[in-house]
């Protein structure tokens, strides 16, 4: 479903983190207080929002990333990679005298599992004042990584105001991702038309399966009226809750060998967003999400076949 030739579809804005990932590929998961030679070590661009952006761009979606960047040398790892993939970064907010957020990742080559240790020492999160400066008329879809939730809610209300004021243009669709389980508040789930709920977030809410989670958020009325929710569940695939309450599912598309699951969810989100922004059904979008995520887990990094 690559549409390079017809980029008449609206531009997506992906809001959230960029960081650097030091990816350590180990033959087996390390035991505490041991010494192991790695199979490989890479210094890569990371962060949910930029991971999703580079996959969207490869699928043929016009995409801009919006977030904060330091001006240290590590920030070049991020900007060079985004440029390589054609992700627009025109409105990024840069901060001097800050350190690029860094993750230390252990990928277990025998299972593909990823263990992430993350630290943002000094770089500020995106400020709603930066969001105010955007020309919202340029975007058809704005997706928020669910971090920095108070500010995310403020930015979404600016989009709501814009949608009410606009005359001829189509309204902007808003989606949010509930992924990190730190500081769960749920209120931001009510703000978007599409809500991505990760397996970790679902489990932190007390649900043991994607279907249980989707039924639960519907029954507890945690979503905005008419909103749709999406829940990916690793090797079981992904489920979606339609406006009618119907639940749809896509199986996974597993590769021959799972080698690297770092950013599988971010890649899945990109496939879903790409399809939905082109007017595809939720079921079709889940399928594309699982297809591109299946490809991703079979290789390291975020290069996908289009």
CA distances from 255 to 74, 103, 108, 258, 294 (A): 32, 26, 16, 6, 6
DSSP-derived secondary structure letter, 28: S
Q: Where are the alpha helices (DSSP H) in 99-250?
A: 128-132, 149-165, 199-204, 210-219
- Those residues with Cβ within 8 angstroms of residue 38's Cβ, 6 or more apart along the chain or in another chain: 24, 25, 26
Using alpha carbons, select from 138, 170, 131, 124 the residue that is nearest to residue 152. 131
Residue 233 binds what, of ligand ADP, ligand FRU, none (CB under 5 to 8 Å, by partner type)? ligand ADP
Single out the segment in contact with ligand FRU by CB under 6 A; choices: 40-48, 130-138, 169-177, 251-259. 40-48
Q: Between residue 167 and residue 206, which ones bind ligand ADP under the rule CB under 6 A?
A: 198-199
Please, what is the angle between helix 48-59 and helix 74-84, to 10°? Answer: 20
Are 9 and 277 in contact, with CB atoms under 8 Å apart? yes
Are 175 and 193 in contact, with CB atoms under 8 Å apart? yes
From 10, 47, 67, 289, residue interacting with ligand FRU (rule: CB under 6 A): 47
From 14, 18, 24, 48, residue interacting with ligand FRU (rule: CB under 6 A): 48
Minimum Å gap between C-beta 53 and ligand FRU is: 11
Residue 297, Cα to own-chain centre: how many angstroms? 15
From 51, 120, 267, 291, residue interacting with ligand FRU (rule: CB under 6 A): 51
From 56, 88, 230, 258, residue interacting with ligand ADP (rule: CB under 6 A): 258
Measure the CA–CA gap between 65 and 14, rounded to whole angstroms: 5
Minimum Å gap between C-beta 179 and ligand FRU is: 8
Length of the chain, in residues: 306
- CB nearer to ligand FRU: pick between 197 and 222: 197
Residue number of the CB closest to ligand ADP reads 265
103 interacts with ligand ADP by CB under 6 A: no
CA distances from 303 to 55, 84, 168 (A): 7, 11, 38
75 interacts with ligand ADP by CB under 6 A: no
Using alpha carbons, select from 190, 225, 197 the residue that is nearest to residue 212. 197
Residue 116 binds what, of ligand ADP, ligand FRU, none (CB under 5 to 8 Å, by partner type)? ligand FRU
235 interacts with ligand ADP by CB under 6 A: yes
Size of the site for ligand ADP (CB under 6 A): 19
16 interacts with ligand FRU by CB under 6 A: no
Residue 186 binds what, of ligand ADP, ligand FRU, none (CB under 5 to 8 Å, by partner type)? none
From 116, 158, 184, 247, residue interacting with ligand FRU (rule: CB under 6 A): 116
**Which residues contact ligand FRU (rule: CB under 6 A)?**
19, 21, 46-48, 51, 103, 116, 118, 262-263, 266
């Amino acid at each position: 479903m690559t549409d390079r030739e017809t980029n008449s579809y609206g531009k997506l804005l992906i809001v959230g983190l960029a960081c650097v990932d030091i990816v350590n590929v180990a033959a087996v998961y390390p035991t505490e207080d041991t010494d192991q030679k790695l199979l490989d070590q890479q210094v890569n661009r990371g962060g949910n929002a930029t991971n999703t952006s580079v996959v969207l761009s490869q699928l043929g979606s016009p995409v801009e990333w919006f977030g904060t960047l330091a001006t240290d040398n590590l920030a070049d790892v991020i900007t060079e990679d985004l440029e390589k993939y054609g992700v627009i970064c025109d409105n990024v907010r840069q901060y001097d005298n800050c350190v690029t957020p860094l993750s230390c990742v252990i990928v277990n080559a025998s299972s593909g599992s990823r263990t992430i240790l993350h630290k943002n020492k000094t770089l500020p999160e995106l400020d709603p004042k930066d969001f105010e400066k955007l020309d919202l008329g340029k975007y058809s879809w704005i997706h928020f990584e669910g971090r920095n939730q108070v500010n995310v809610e403020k930015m979404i209300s600016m989009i709501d105001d814009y949608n009410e004021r606009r005359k001829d243009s189509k309204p902007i669709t808003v989606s949010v991702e509930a992924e990190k389980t730190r500081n769960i508040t749920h209120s931001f789930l009510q703000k978007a038309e599409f809500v991505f709920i990760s397996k970790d977030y679902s489990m932190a809410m007390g649900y043991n399966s994607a279907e249980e989670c989707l039924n639960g958020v519907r029954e507890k009325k945690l979503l905005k009226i008419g909103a749709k929710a999406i829940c990916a569940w690793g090797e079981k695939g992904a489920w979606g809750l339609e406006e009618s309450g119907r639940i749809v599912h896509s199986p996974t598309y597993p590769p021959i060998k799972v080698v690297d699951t770092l950013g599988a969810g971010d890649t899945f989100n990109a496939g879903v967003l790409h399809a939905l922004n082109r007017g595809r059904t939720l079921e079709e979008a889940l399928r594309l999400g699982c297809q591109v995520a299946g490809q991703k887990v079979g290789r390291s990094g975020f290069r996908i076949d289009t």
